Amino acid sequence: MKNDFFCTPVHTLSGEMIAIDLSYRPHSAAVGGPLDAVRQPPLAEDRLLHQLLIVEEYADYFRQHGLLCSVAIDFQLARAVTQSSFIQQILSHLPFVRLKLSEDFPNLHDGMDNPLLRTLIEQLNILWLDDLGAGDANLHALQSNMFEAVKLDRQFYLENVNKPFFSVLINHIRQYTNRVIVEGVAGDGQLETLRNSKIWGVQGYFAQQLTLDSLECGDDGKRCEKG
């Protein structure tokens, strides 16, 4: 089950690892293999539970290195988090875990008026917003101040990083959170632009996908085997 997941590091602009984005790795069925050899993908709720239990195995590593761990949830999984006392108990022992909501989360723009989002917050979960700029929501979702960190949509970043208004946009986002993450940095030349905009983290630039076991190969993750 551990191999069902991979992690993408988030680093500061100086190269210090500050977070891990833990994602599910879908399995492709083997062509021509026996029917019983085709492994059915787990239900989403079971996958989240296994994901959190695996994170729990590495809890000492995250604590010792001061790392955060983001885990993506959709509407269905958000309901599971709020309704499952077992999942809530696990999360209470993993204070470094951040629940990451995509911009297409239903009624995200309602902020604290969204009952499900309000319950997540009331249960002391810390939320991140993913894919800002993908077009499914606007900055109104940020104005609720519910999100500790925001990650720009990769395509949105690539299309706008070299435009004059990029720094203005980032400054506006930073009114609501000072932790802005970007993915898709094309070279060291862009780091200066990001530094001037006070970007908090870059994902997948200093190191790309890693396996969970390879995390402990080196303190910063850069010497580990790519997953």
User: Is 34 inside any structural domain?
Assistant: no
Number of domain units in the chain: 1
DSSP state at residue 227: -
- Answer yes or no: is 172 within a domain: yes
What is the rounded distance in angstroms from the CA atom of residue 199 to the CA atom of residue 201? Answer: 6
Residue 212: its pLDDT value, please?
A: 77
pLDDT for 41 equals: 52
* Average pLDDT in the chain: 86
Please indicate, yes or no, if residue 121 is contained in any of the structural domains.
yes
The pLDDT of residue 129: 95
Low-confidence ranges of the chain (pLDDT < 50): 28-38, 219-227
Residue 223 in domain: no
Tell which residue, 75, 88, 87, 156, has the closest CA to residue 116.
75
Domain CATH number, residue 7: 3.20.20.450
pTM of the model as a whole: 0.87
169 lies in which domain range?
2-26+40-217
Between CA 165 and CA 162 the distance in angstroms is 9
Q: What is the pLDDT of residue 30?
A: 38
| 35 assigned to some structural domain | no
pLDDT given for residue 137 in this prediction: 61
Q: State residue 223's pLDDT score.
A: 36
At residue 103, the pLDDT reads 83
**Eight-state DSSP code of residue 200:** -
**Contact of 33 with 40, CB cutoff 8 Å:** no
Q: For residues 121 and 94, what is the distance between their CA atoms, to the nearest angstrom?
A: 16
In a domain, 226, yes or no: no
Q: For the segment 87-112, what is each residue's pLDDT rounded down to a tens digit?
A: 999 999 999 999 999 888 999 989 89
Q: What is the pLDDT, as a whole number, of residue 216? A: 67
